[in-house]
């Protein structure tokens, strides 16, 4: 079962989370180190809480609603 996160206020999936990325010298890539509680909705233009929803069986999700 696949899931996605959406804004609890407006339902948009155009959201971001506050996180740290750590440099991995061996792979020469940034690796996600930690994810924090702060979430931002780009549609609402502010802090939000997130809801989780199941993505359809085919694993497709609608494109982010960029405005």
Has residue 61 been placed in a domain?
no
pLDDT digits (tens, 9 = 90+) for 16-29: 999 999 999 999 99
Q: Averaged over 15-43, what is the pLDDT?
A: 97
Q: Are 17 and 36 in contact (CB under 8 A)?
A: yes
pLDDT at residue 2 in the model? 93
Measured distance CA(2)–CA(7) in Å, rounded: 17
Has residue 64 been placed in a domain?
no
Has residue 62 been placed in a domain?
no
Q: How many domains does the chain have?
A: 1
Measured distance CA(60)–CA(67) in Å, rounded: 21
pLDDT at residue 56 in the model? 79
pLDDT band of residue 58 (cuts 50, 70, 90) is low
pLDDT at residue 4 in the model? 96
Containing structural domain, residue 18: 3-54
Has residue 30 been placed in a domain?
yes
Answer whether residue 66 shows pLDDT above 60: no
- Three-state DSSP state, 56: coil
């Amino acid at each position: 079962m696949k899931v996605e996160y959406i804004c609890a206020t407006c339902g948009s999936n155009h959201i971001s989370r506050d996180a740290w990325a750590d440099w991995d010298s061996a792979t020469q890539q940034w690796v996600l180190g930690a994810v924090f509680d702060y979430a931002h909705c780009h549609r609402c233009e502010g802090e939000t809480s997130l809801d989780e929803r199941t993505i359809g069986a085919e694993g497709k999700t609608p494109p982010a609603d960029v405005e």
